[in-house]
Amino acid sequence: MIEFEVKSRILNIGERKGQTVYYAAPKSQQRMTNKVLVDRIVRETSLSAGDVSNALISLSNVVCEALQMGMSVDLAELGSFRLTVSSKMMDTPEEVTVKGALNTPKITFTPKKAMSDAAKAVELSIERPGSGTGTPTTPGTGSGEGGADDGEL
C-alpha cells in the first residue's frame, strides 16, 4: 500500500497565481534493501546468499556494458532497459552535431505485463488532515476519494 497525505501550496505563476491548491503527496516510500532482496531470493531458491549477491552484481555489470554499447537488455519477465536519446531541432543540417543537437542519453525501463499488473494492483490511500486514517481506493483505478483527479497536479 502507498499512503498519501494532502498538501497545499500557493501557485506562483499562471492563471491561478496566488491561489492555494491541494494535492496528494506520498507520505514515505517503502524500500526493499539489497539485503532483504537477497534474503527473499535465498528463501525461494536453492542458491546461497553469496550466489545471489554475485548474480545481482554480475547482472548490473552486464546491463551497464550492454547499455554502453547502445544495446537494449531484455530481463525476462521483469522487462527491458534501453537508451533513449532525444535531439534538438536545428535550422541547418550542418548544425546537427553530436555536441550541439543530441541530448544526454537516458535509460528507459519498459516493464513486462506481470510487473505492470503488479503496479496496477497496488492499494492507494489518502490520509485527510485531522482524520488519522486513509480510505483505500480501488486497486489500479486511480479513482477513489475525490474522483479521477486524485494524485494529479
**Spans of all domains in the chain:** 2-136
Residue partners of 143: CB distance under 8 A and separation at least 6: 137, 150
Hey, what amino acid is at 18? G
Superfamily assignment of 2-136 in CATH?
Answer: IHF-like DNA-binding proteins (4.10.520.10)
pLDDT digits (tens, 9 = 90+) for 11-69: 999 999 999 999 999 988 888 999 999 999 999 999 999 999 999 999 999 999 999 99
pLDDT averaged over every residue in the chain: 87
Cell of 33: 534493501
Whole-number pLDDT of residue 15: 92
Whole-number pLDDT of residue 132: 55
pLDDT band per the 50, 70, 90 thresholds, residue 114 = very high
What is each CA distance from 23 to 8, 39, 129, 142, 145, in whole angstroms? 6, 37, 12, 14, 12
Percent of the chain's residues with pLDDT above 90: 76
Name the pairing type of β-strands 106-111 and 124-127. Answer: unpaired
Q: Can you tell me which residue has the cell 500500500?
A: 1
Name the pairing type of β-strands 124-127 and 2-10. Answer: parallel
